[in-house]
Amino acid sequence: MSTPSILSAIQKLRALLTREEKLKWLGIFGFALTTSLLEVVTASVIVVFAQVLNAPETGLKYLRKMGFASDLSPGHVVFYIAIIVGAVYLIKNLIAAAEVFFQNFSIQKMNYHFKNKLLHRYARSDYGFYLTRNSSFGIAVVGGDTEMMFSSGMISIASILSEGVIFLALIGMIIYMNPSLALTIFAIGGVVSVGVVKVVLPRFYRFGQKLQETALYSGQNLMQFFHAFKEIILLGKRESFIEAYQVHARKKAGIQAIQTSLNALPRMVIEILFVGLFVTTIAYLCLDQEAPSQMIGILGGYLYAGFRLMPGLNRIINQLNVFKSVIPSIERVHQEYTVLAAKENYVSVSDFQFNQHIEIKDLSFKYLNTEHDALSHVSLQIKKGECIGIVGETGSGKSTLVDLILGLLKPYQGSILVDGQYPVHSYQWHQKIGYVPQSIYLTDDTIEKNIAFGEKDIDLNRLNLAIDAAQLRKFIDTLSEGVMTIVGERGIRLSGGERQRIAIARALYRSPEVLIFDEATSALDNDTEARLMETINAVSKDRTVIMIAHRLTTLKDCNRIVVMDKGCVRNVTDYNSLQNKVRKHA
Ligand SMILES: Nc1ncnc2c1ncn2[C@@H]1O[C@H](COP(=O)(O)OP(=O)(O)OP(=O)(O)O)[C@@H](O)[C@H]1O
Ligand SMILES: [Mg+2]
């Protein structure tokens, strides 16, 4: 089976870069050319030095050309030449160091920029799409694949580029000095390349694929292990969860061991081929004509070129392997960035006033990868300033309806418009909404930061109003750190009711025009809920409220109550008639 070519992967990489970044690559290439030229210069300088050692008078010739005094002793000639050689090496390596820094800083900057762009794309992707994903996948793409793509993939291209140019330049030099040696090197290079391209590279592609897979699953298992800690302990499933992680971790370890070992093999093959042929060639030359001493100069060149070429060729092969194993990551990131996360799902409209109503017309919705409609033919008008309650059996589509009103999910049929014209999937609509979800996500931060969620400059006035309205004051007063108390990951250090009230405070903090509560008081005792409902009703005076609740009493101040059943609106009624009906049934 053929694997995707390196060129097509490079094209995909290119497509992910900005114009400026592509120009940077020209810079990287230019640098590579410069250092490789210098590499040739240093190789020749060593040849000269060897010649001078052998016959100082040749050195004198060079020195004269450079304007040195002509009456130097042989020792002085060697001394000066040595200093020049040292200086050339110093300059070359200073430039090589600059190249390395330039290369790494440029690539890591691209890395950071790209992750930023990718996260921005994810941030505008459809919530329905997000629901089909495991969060480990997103973490693997951004933290694993993208990281690989730049830190390994791009660095390896840069190394192949500079090593490749040096390699070609040295080969050029050798062709000039001794065509038969060049031929030998070509032959070795040819044999090794065919082996690498046909046998080794496809393997590395598959290693990459497997590593990608095991990284994802082991990541996912680790996350589950730590998230489900309580359940794991109580259900006595320590072993099976550790085992689940180990299966992938073991696979990953195995692949990495093979990969690293295989990557060491080319060096050995090259060494055998090269040293073997090199030694034979020299022996042959000695037999043929020249005395060993006459060959010192040219031998210096061979030796340098050889000992620089061999590791060079080896590095090129290693980096090709690395690149090939990164191709699956490049493909995934390319796919995510250009296809899956490319669509802009939220729109920006001019800022508007919500004056009249939210109009839901003949709405039908189905979750991705499911067969049945979660909502079908729902029509409803919610007037500004109204308080609407939603009840219905579990699974009847209440949360789904709310997610559609929030513009997070998109109907496949029907429409929801605000004031007859504004789309709900707009940033401007989201601005007007305070939403308390059925399950709350608290960040591992202070109460204050969780209420002001993501806001840098916290408005203390609004913060305090929200805390009072959400019945949090008494609780916060008992804490020695007050609003600066850290709540723990997902609010693990708080009670369910405390978490819920923080979520309510978060919604109120923005003092939104529209409030949406999805079972927002389910974890509260009757008294606290009653008090909370009083304040919610007070703050709701001139606001529009949509409230999902299981306890009918929670909805007693609602103007209308919508009864949902199997994805449809069965009835729109009010509290009293619903209450009577329930009584009759009882
Ligand atoms: N992400 C999802 N993918 C597929 N199906 C889903 C998804 N979320 C919910 N559903 C299904 O859609 C239907 C409606 O779910 P929804 O969450 O809207 O119910 P609900 O009325 O809010 O229930 P509850 O009172 O239990 O919160 C259910 O049958 C549920 O299984
Ligand atoms: Mg729900």
Contact 416, 514 (CB under 8 A): no
CA-to-CA distance for 373 and 376, rounded, in angstroms?
6
Contact 37, 169 (CB under 8 A): yes
Q: Which of 132, 372, 399, 438 maximizes ligand 1 atoms within 8 Å of its Cβ, making it the mutation to test the pocket?
A: 399
* pLDDT given for residue 291 in this prediction: 63
Ligand (nearest to CA of 517): 2
Please provide the size of the chain in residues.
Answer: 586
Contact 233, 225 (CB under 8 A): no
Atom of ligand 1 nearest to the CA of 370: 4
Distance from the Cα of residue 33 to its chain's centroid: 32
Q: Which amino acid residue places its CA nearest to atom 18 of ligand 1? A: 397
Q: Which amino acid residue places its CA nearest to atom 14 of ligand 1? A: 397
Instruction: Tell me if residue 377 falls in helix, strand or coil.
Output: strand
Q: Is the pLDDT of residue 383 over 70?
A: yes
**How far, in Å, is the centroid of ligand 1 from the Cα of 401?**
10
Contact 517, 547 (CB under 8 A): yes
Task: Say which residue the tokens 């459809």 belong to.
Answer: 126
Instruction: Tell me if residue 145 falls in helix, strand or coil.
Output: helix
Ligand 1 neighbour 398 (Cβ under 6 A): yes
* pLDDT given for residue 304 in this prediction: 62
Q: Which of 375, 400, 570 maximizes ligand 1 atoms within 8 Å of its Cβ, making it the mutation to test the pocket?
A: 400
Q: Which amino acid residue places its CA nearest to atom 1 of ligand 1? A: 131
Of 424, 423, 437, 515, which is closest to residue 469 (Cα–Cα)?
515
What pTM, to 2 d.p., does this model score? 0.83
Distance from the Cα of residue 380 to its chain's centroid: 41
CA-to-CA distance for 148 and 115, rounded, in angstroms?
12
Q: Which amino acid residue places its CA nearest to atom 7 of ligand 1? A: 367
**How far, in Å, is the centroid of ligand 2 from the Cα of 436?**
12
State which CATH number among 3.90.110.10, 3.30.70.270, 3.20.20.150, 1.20.1560.10 fits the domain covering 6-340: 1.20.1560.10
Ligand (nearest to CA of 567): 1
CA-to-CA distance for 69 and 378, rounded, in angstroms?
100
Ligand 1 neighbour 371 (Cβ under 6 A): no
Atom of ligand 1 nearest to the CA of 401: 18
**How far, in Å, is the centroid of ligand 1 from the Cα of 213?**
30
Q: Which amino acid residue places its CA nearest to atom 16 of ligand 1? A: 397
Ligand 1 neighbour 273 (Cβ under 6 A): no
Tally of CB atoms within 10 A around 578:
19
* pLDDT given for residue 67 in this prediction: 75
CA-to-CA distance for 255 and 337, rounded, in angstroms?
28
* pLDDT given for residue 78 in this prediction: 84
Contact 417, 352 (CB under 8 A): no
Ligand 1 neighbour 395 (Cβ under 6 A): yes
**How far, in Å, is the centroid of ligand 2 from the Cα of 213?**
33
Q: Which residues contact 501 (CB under 8 A, 6 or more apart)?
A: 470, 471, 472, 475, 524, 532
Contact 388, 382 (CB under 8 A): yes
Q: Is the pLDDT of residue 301 over 70?
A: no
Mean of all residue pLDDT scores within the chain = 87
∠ Cα 449 432 353 (to 5°): 150
Class of domain 357-585: alpha beta
Of residues 194 and 110, more confidence is placed in: 110
Q: Which residues contact 423 (CB under 8 A, 6 or more apart)?
A: 347, 349, 407, 417, 429
CA-to-CA distance for 278 and 485, rounded, in angstroms?
72
CA-to-CA distance for 207 and 447, rounded, in angstroms?
46
CA-to-CA distance for 177 and 175, rounded, in angstroms?
6
CA-to-CA distance for 321 and 260, rounded, in angstroms?
10
Q: Where exactly does CATH 1.20.1560.10 map onto the chain?
A: 6-340
Tally of CB atoms within 10 A around 521:
25
Residues of the chain with pLDDT > 70, as a percent, come to: 95
Report the pLDDT averaged over residues 282-311.
Answer: 67
Of residues 380 and 550, more confidence is placed in: 380
Ligand 1 neighbour 370 (Cβ under 6 A): yes
Ligand (nearest to CA of 370): 1
Residue 144 token pair? 């694993």
* pLDDT given for residue 562 in this prediction: 94
Ligand 1 neighbour 565 (Cβ under 6 A): no
CA-to-CA distance for 391 and 518, rounded, in angstroms?
10
Ligand 1 neighbour 367 (Cβ under 6 A): yes
Which secondary structure element, helix H or strand E, spans residue 585, and what is its range?
A: helix 575-585
Atom of ligand 1 nearest to the CA of 128: 1
Tally of CB atoms within 10 A around 278:
19
Ligand 1 neighbour 482 (Cβ under 6 A): no
* pLDDT given for residue 3 in this prediction: 79
CA-to-CA distance for 325 and 319, rounded, in angstroms?
10
**How far, in Å, is the centroid of ligand 1 from the Cα of 532?**
27
SS3 content of the chain, % helix, strand, coil (to 5): 65, 10, 25
Ligand (nearest to CA of 368): 1
End-to-end CA distance of the chain: 69
Q: Where exactly does CATH 3.40.50.300 map onto the chain?
A: 357-585
Of 497, 492, 498, which is closest to residue 483 (Cα–Cα)?
498
**How far, in Å, is the centroid of ligand 2 from the Cα of 400?**
7
Q: Which amino acid residue places its CA nearest to atom 24 of ligand 1? A: 394
**How far, in Å, is the centroid of ligand 2 from the Cα of 397?**
7
**How far, in Å, is the centroid of ligand 2 from the Cα of 401?**
9
Ligand 1 neighbour 400 (Cβ under 6 A): yes
Ligand 1 neighbour 399 (Cβ under 6 A): yes
Helices (H), 378-492: 398-405, 427-431, 447-451, 460-469, 473-477
Q: Which amino acid residue places its CA nearest to atom 19 of ligand 1? A: 395
Q: Is the pLDDT of residue 175 over 90?
A: no
Atom of ligand 1 nearest to the CA of 398: 21
Burial class (CB in 10 A: 0-12, 13-18, 19+), 159: buried
**How far, in Å, is the centroid of ligand 2 from the Cα of 402?**
9
pLDDT in tens, 37-71: 888 788 788 878 888 888 887 777 777 777 776 67
* pLDDT given for residue 505 in this prediction: 93
Q: Which amino acid residue places its CA nearest to atom 25 of ligand 1? A: 394
Confidence of residue 521 (pLDDT cuts 50, 70, 90): confident
- Of 104-118, 268-282, 366-380, 399-413, which gets the smallest average pLDDT? 268-282
* pLDDT given for residue 557 in this prediction: 85
Ligand 1 neighbour 396 (Cβ under 6 A): yes
Ligand 1 neighbour 134 (Cβ under 6 A): no
* pLDDT given for residue 507 in this prediction: 92
Helices (H), 432-574: 447-451, 460-469, 473-477, 496-509, 526-539
Strand pairing report for 357-365 and 413-418: antiparallel
Integer Rg of the chain from CA: 36
Ligand 1 neighbour 522 (Cβ under 6 A): no
CA-to-CA distance for 162 and 33, rounded, in angstroms?
7
Task: Say which residue the tokens 């290079």 belong to.
Answer: 189
